[in-house]
Amino acid sequence: MFDTIKSTIDVFPKMRLKPWASLGDVLLVGEGNMSFAKSLLAMPVTQITHMTATTFEKKKDLSHDVIKNANFLKRIGVLVMHGVDATKLEKSFKPHAFDTIIFQFPNVGSRDTKYGHNPNHVMIRKFLRSAKPYLKLSGKIIISVVDNPHYNGVFQLEEAAAFAGYEAPETYSFDPHVFSGYFHTNTNDEKSALEDHNKFLTWVFRPKNEFTIRH
């Protein structure tokens, strides 16, 4: 019986890490202070072959600590870019096929309604649409968000997947403590929003194969 309990307990960390295994050629958008990119590189399970880490903010608007993280990443061979809009990737990238595209805790930092919707609802749909041409057919998009009724209602990630041409997404619990050195920051300040919440989900989206047979 103890063996069964132990093997059941062992499954949980493996499940939690599943989305983060074998990331290959990875693009991170909306990286904030760039600490998540650093933490992924320190985890053997991620098997990163190349990393492009980007911030939405322009270089001139970054704090000293973010520049320090960016410089560390550059020194170890990461391509670091600033001023990258996740909803308009074509403005920053030539055609490319990433294995994985990651957006941790997307948040526009505004509540002004857009087209009658919360701006985060609109942003995530535009991001998924913009990212699809930059993904291998076998690739995946990873998005982590707070798991509560408010955020679930705002993002509506299952509907966003269908809207943007992805299979029904899978979810995994997200534990920020697993990512050593990761310090999550809010969009408009350096405070951690994760402190105010205790349940997080990582959503994994795979592109729908839109191959159609024409007669």
Give me the residues that bind ligand SAM (CB under 6 A), please: 29-32, 36, 56-57, 85-87, 104-108, 123, 184-187, 193
Pull the structure tokens for residue 106: 């997307």
Rank residues 29 and 204 by Cβ distance to ligand SAM and give the closer one.
Answer: 29
Least Å distance, CB 187 to ligand SAM, is: 4
Q: Is 73 in contact with 53 (CB distance < 8 Å)?
A: yes
Residues in the chain: 215
Rank residues 67 and 167 by Cβ distance to ligand SAM and give the closer one.
Answer: 67
Least Å distance, CB 88 to ligand SAM, is: 8
Rank residues 10 and 61 by Cβ distance to ligand SAM and give the closer one.
Answer: 61
Rank residues 100 and 104 by Cβ distance to ligand SAM and give the closer one.
Answer: 104
Burial state string for 151-185 with b = 16 or more CB within 10 A and e = fewer than 16: beebbbbeebbeebebeebeebebebeebeebbbb
Q: Residue 189, class by beta-carbon neighbours within 10 Å (0-12 exposed, 13-18 middle, 19+ buried)?
A: exposed
Least Å distance, CB 123 to ligand SAM, is: 6
Least Å distance, CB 10 to ligand SAM, is: 28
d(CA 112, CA 78): 35
